[in-house]
């Protein structure tokens, strides 16, 4: 009798365990946590920039001495390539609106090795057929983008919970240095109507402009706080300009004014990493 009761108990216990196992098998595993993009982040980036400066040197005195007609410089505009390595850091904040959209604000500051130069040479005459004098004005104009930064809005769409494509745009600002050295050879004629001379300018200023671009950002595998990004930006910082006075040329005509300008645009491609404070 005892053996029968023991066997019955064992069978019942096995049946209960089997039912419990079946119930557990039918229950779905808990869902994986959904990644959230909301929060502050800080990061660094490095990249390359290919920009352009369009420079003008305008001297209304070419050919104007002795009642002559001013001759516009034929070398305008000059074009300088502003190519160089860039690097810096960024800080921002994201708001994840729903499972598909992310809004954000981002600011960055960049050091830049972008430098460009262009040379020119332009003959001109004073009087008819050089009856007063003939000359050639030549020189070199340099433009450098020493640093720049942006303050932008971002609108992103999540192609996966951890990968975002985004567009971005806003303000741009940067430190521009423009300089030039000019020489008037004055190779035919006699002083004081014709006096060789050299002059130049050097100007550093901060300009405000605009920027727009796009990028992709994704969570680094097996992490929750780190993301990588690839980004393109176009910058337009507008124009810098100034005035000055020639030296030497003109003799008795006294100091003669000139003007210069340089318009700076830039293309940026950079990679970076962000640390997110969730």
The pLDDT of residue 109 is: 97
Q: Please write the tens of the pLDDT for every residue from 224-274.
A: 999 999 999 999 999 999 988 876 554 445 567 888 899 999 999 999 999
Structure tokens at 211: 């920027």
Averaged pLDDT for residues 189-196:
60
State the Cα–Cα distance between residues 177 and 270, nearest whole angstrom.
23
Tell which CATH classification among 3.30.70, 2.40.128, 2.50.20, 1.10.10 matches the domain 39-277. Answer: 2.40.128
The pLDDT of residue 238 is: 95
Domain boundaries, the chain: 39-277
Residue 81 confidence (pLDDT) above 70: yes
Residue 116 confidence (pLDDT) above 70: yes
Q: Please write the tens of the pLDDT for every residue from 130-173.
A: 656 677 778 889 999 999 999 999 999 999 999 999 999 999 99
Q: Please write the tens of the pLDDT for every residue from 82-114.
A: 999 999 999 999 999 999 999 999 999 999 999
The pLDDT of residue 137 is: 78
Averaged pLDDT for residues 116-132:
72
Structure tokens at 107: 């600011």
Q: What are the φ and ψ backbone dihedral angles of 151, each rounded to 5 degrees?
A: -135, 110
Mean pLDDT over all residues of the chain? Answer: 82
Q: Tell me the pLDDT band of 11, cut-offs 50, 70 and 90.
A: very low
Structure tokens at 207: 């300009």
State the Cα–Cα distance between residues 148 and 207, nearest whole angstrom.
9
Residue 217 confidence (pLDDT) above 70: yes
Q: Is the pTM of this model over 0.85?
A: no
Contacts of 154 (CB under 8 A, 6+ apart): 92, 94, 102, 103, 104, 105, 106, 166, 167, 168
State the Cα–Cα distance between residues 199 and 186, nearest whole angstrom.
14
Q: What is the largest CA-CA distance in the chain?
A: 142
């Amino acid at each position: 009798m005892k053996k029968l009761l023991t066997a019955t108990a064992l069978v019942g216990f096995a049946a209960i365990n089997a039912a419990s196992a079946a119930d557990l098998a039918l229950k779905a595993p808990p869902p994986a946590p959904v990644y959230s993009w909301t929060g502050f982040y800080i990061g660094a980036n490095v990249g390359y920039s290919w920009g352009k400066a369009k420079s003008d040197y305008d001297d209304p005195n070419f050919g104007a001495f002795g009642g002559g007609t001013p001759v516009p410089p034929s070398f305008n505009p000059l074009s300088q390539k502003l190519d160089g390595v860039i690097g810096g850091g960024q800080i921002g904040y994201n708001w994840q609106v729903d499972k598909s959209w992310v809004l954000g604000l981002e600011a960055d500051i960049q050091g830049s090795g972008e430098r460009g130069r262009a040379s020119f040479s332009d003959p001109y005459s004073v009087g008819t057929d050089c009856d007063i004098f003939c000359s050639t004005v030549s020189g070199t104009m340099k433009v450098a983008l020493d640093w720049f930064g942006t303050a932008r809005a971002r609108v992103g769409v999540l192609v996966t919970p951890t990968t975002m494509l985004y567009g971005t745009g806003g303000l741009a600002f940067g430190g521009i240095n423009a300089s030039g050295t000019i020489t008037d050879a004055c190779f035919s004629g006699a002083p004081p109507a014709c006096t060789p001379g050299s002059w130049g300018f050097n100007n550093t200023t901060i300009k405000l402009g605009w920027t727009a671009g796009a990028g992709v950002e994704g969570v680094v595998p097996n992490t929750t706080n780190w993301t990588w990004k690839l980004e393109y930006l176009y910058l337009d910082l507008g124009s810098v300009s100034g005035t000055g006075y020639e030296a030497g040329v003109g003799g008795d005509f006294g100091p003669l004014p000139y003007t210069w300008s340089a318009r700076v645009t830039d293309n940026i491609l950079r990679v970076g990493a962000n640390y997110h404070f969730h």
